[in-house]
Structure 1
Amino acid sequence: MRIDRFMSLQAGVSRRDVKLMLAQKRITIDGVVAQDSQHVIDAFSHVRFDNQILQDNTPRYVMMNKPVGVVSATKDEQHQTVIDLLDGDDRSGLHIVGRLDLNSSGLLLLTNDSRWSRRLMDPKNKVTKVYRVTLEKPLTDEYISAFADGMYFGYEDITTQPAKLKIVSEYVAEVSLVEGRYHQIKRMFGRFRNPVLALHRERIGQLLLDPELKPGGSRALSQDEACQIS
């Protein structure tokens, strides 16, 4: 938002008073004296008024190895949530980037940076997600072409974007896709009447799930890791 609106909300002053404060060089943004009342700040701009810090947020990016049986939600009355798995000091302000359902596991991202999460989840950016899928029945080459062609789902009147399926073994496939529609992978295998026994996300973009993370474990992403997938 604009700095004059921010100051009005945070300091309880009129926008006319904000212009006077700017003229008196009493407001700094990221260490630089602010001069324009229309200067736009974001959630992570450092804003100081006189000797008072009004905003000093730090972007946070967290990788988790989500276990089966935990929901991708901030609150749930019936199940343990991924937020519950974090240490108390690490929970504040985080939201989930690309959910995994209750019975799925693997790489899950959490952040307080909404712009970053929107970039990752926007289908136009075609960020690839890679899953390891264990099935009840054997796989055949027919699956490869069907996933590559996309599948039509009449309920939503949509055709899925092309997905890549690699047969790892008789009952295990690696599936790569750039969208994440509701239970998409399970529904695509459902066309073959082949139930999914396990679904594990291994990669988002170039970011691999850290093999050192046990189920339920988490760690902060480095700045380089956060940048390479956004």
Structure 2
Amino acid sequence: MKEYNKQSAEEDNVPETELRLNKYIANAGISSRRGADLIIEEGRVTVNGKLVKELGVKVKSTDKILVDNKLISAEEKKYVLVNKPRNVICTSSDEKGRRAIVDLLPSHLQHLYPVGRLDRNTTGIILLTNDGDLTQNLLHPTKKVKKVYKAKVEKQLSQQELDQMVTGVELEDGVSKFDKIVELREDESFRYGIEIHSGKNRVIRRMFDAIGSPVIKLDRVMFHTFDKKGIPMGMHRELTQKELKNLGVYMRTTK
């Protein structure tokens, strides 16, 4: 296969103002720009049928660009909050036919990807977007993005167990801990508010299991600066202009 490179672009009269290929891939929600560079170098991208392995190539909106033999499009960036119900999985599709998070969205938003995951039985706020750079930033462990949950558990925790939750609980994949945990006196049930930045799979449920008080119900009420106020269960809303502006400030100050 003939390679597409900077010289090819110049021969095709691609203006210098056109979009760099890595940014085009990031805008399509495939990965961050840094991740797109790796995808290009691995030989997984073609432009108009020509293999691209050189960084810095610029492309036009009319170019046919494939990643892993799939056509992509650098669409307008979209940001949507969903209040996820139970029995919905956080993927774009499911081979078992289970209801996916994108099924809760109208067709023109179903190309978006969830930022992180909530397990099938966990409810609450989740962000979906096609902004690859933002997704990588929010999920990177060094950013320590805040997540707040409410958990209903089988038994009340002692003060020693509460202390253990913030000092560390030994799990099969290492020690995990909450940033904060407080008892919530909302009813006769045993409920706790939890703040955590760890992105480990099912870490809250596993920590409560480890101290002998399994989770009955788990709901995420905040992710980053976003909460689910005003979003009924199973519904969604797009970010406001103020929220988009704040995201822009966040991205500029956390690179």
**Structure 2 length as normaliser, TM-score?**
0.70
1:72-113 per-residue CA deviation (whole Å, 9 max, x = no partner) reads 111122411111111111112x11111111111000111111
- CA–CA separation in structure 2 for the residues paired with 1:19 and 1:108: 43
In structure 1, runs of 5+ residues without a counterpart are 9-13, 31-38
Partner of 2:9: 18
Structure 1 20/124 Cα, relative in aligned 2: closer, same or farther at 3 Å? same
Partner of 1:142: 160
Q: CA deviation at 1:139?
A: 3.1
Partner of 1:172: 191
Based on CA coordinates, which of the two structures has the bigger radius of gyration?
1
Structure 1 167/227 Cα, relative in aligned 2: closer, same or farther at 3 Å? farther
1:193-212 per-residue CA deviation (whole Å, 9 max, x = no partner) reads 11211100011122222x22
Q: CA deviation at 1:215?
A: 1.0
Partner of 2:122: 104
- CA–CA separation in structure 2 for the residues paired with 1:130 and 1:100: 12
Alpha-carbon contact 2:89-2:98 (below 8 Å) kept = yes
Structure 1 57/228 Cα, relative in aligned 2: closer, same or farther at 3 Å? same
Structure 1 95/197 Cα, relative in aligned 2: closer, same or farther at 3 Å? same
Task: Give secondary structure in 2 for the equivalent of 1:42.
Answer: helix
1:202 aligns with 2:221: yes
Q: CA deviation at 1:162?
A: 4.5
Name the amino acid aligned to 1:181. K
Q: CA deviation at 1:126?
A: 0.6
Task: Give secondary structure in 2 for the equivalent of 1:70.
Answer: coil
Q: Which residue among 235, 245, 249 is the counterpart of 1:224?
A: 245
Structure 1 184/228 Cα, relative in aligned 2: closer, same or farther at 3 Å? farther
Partner of 1:29: 18
Q: CA deviation at 1:129?
A: 0.5
- Could you list the structure 1 runs, at least 4 aligned residues long, displaced by more than 3 angstroms after superposition: 25-28, 52-56, 225-230
Calculate the aligned-residue CA RMSD, in Å: 2.6
In structure 2, runs of 5+ residues without a counterpart are 29-57, 64-72
Aligned residues: 202
Structure 1 111/138 Cα, relative in aligned 2: closer, same or farther at 3 Å? same
Q: Using the TM superposition, name which of 160-169 and 175-184 deviates more.
A: 160-169
Task: Give secondary structure in 2 for the equivalent of 1:28.
Answer: coil
- CA–CA separation in structure 2 for the residues paired with 1:190 and 1:91: 35
- CA–CA separation in structure 2 for the residues paired with 1:65 and 1:191: 28
Aligned residues: percent identity?
A: 24
1:95-145 per-residue CA deviation (whole Å, 9 max, x = no partner) reads 111111111100011111121111111111111110011112123322321
Question: Map of 1:72-91 to 2, 5 A cutoff?
Answer: 72-76=90-94, 77-91=96-110
- CA–CA separation in structure 1 for the residues paired with 2:88 and 2:159: 33
Partner of 2:207: 188
